[in-house]
């Protein structure tokens, strides 16, 4: 079987959701590290700033990762279709 065309929008939607999930995981890790840094800081102002960045990471990173993943996959799938049309597709063996 040779894949000569993929639907760019379909691929981009799946990748956008996958990247948003990764952003949520990375944002959670960043938030955890920021919270640990907030407790470790003797200055209460710096600790509060770390906590705000941590909470912001959980909200902003999934949105940012999801949007960037969607756009880049949309572009990549369209480029794949153009190149596969000229050269040929990816060969896949299905058992």
The pLDDT score that the predictor gives to residue 46 is 64
pLDDT tens-place values along the chain, 95 residues long: 888 899 999 999 999 999 999 999 998 898 888 778 777 767 666 667 766 777 788 889 999 999 999 999 999 999 999 999 899 889 988 88
Q: What is the 3-state secondary structure (H, E, C) of 8-25?
A: HHHHHHHHHHHHHHHHHH
Please tell me the distance from the alpha carbon of residue 22 to that of residue 27, in angstroms, as a whole number: 8
Angle at 85 between CA 67 and CA 65, to 5 degrees: 10
Specify the number of domains making up the chain: 1
Q: How many CB atoms lie within 10 A of CB 77?
A: 19
Domain span including residue 38 = 2-91
């Amino acid at each position: 079987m040779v894949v000569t065309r993929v639907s760019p929008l379909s691929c981009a939607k799946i990748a956008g959701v996958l990247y948003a999930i990764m952003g949520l995981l990375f944002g959670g890790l960043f938030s955890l590290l920021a919270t640990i840094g907030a407790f470790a800081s003797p200055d209460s102002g710096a600790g509060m700033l770390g906590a705000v960045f941590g909470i912001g990471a959980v909200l902003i990173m999934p949105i940012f990762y999801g949007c960037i993943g969607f756009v880049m996959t949309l572009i990549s799938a369209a480029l794949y279709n153009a190149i596969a049309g000229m050269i040929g597709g990816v060969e896949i063996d299905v058992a």
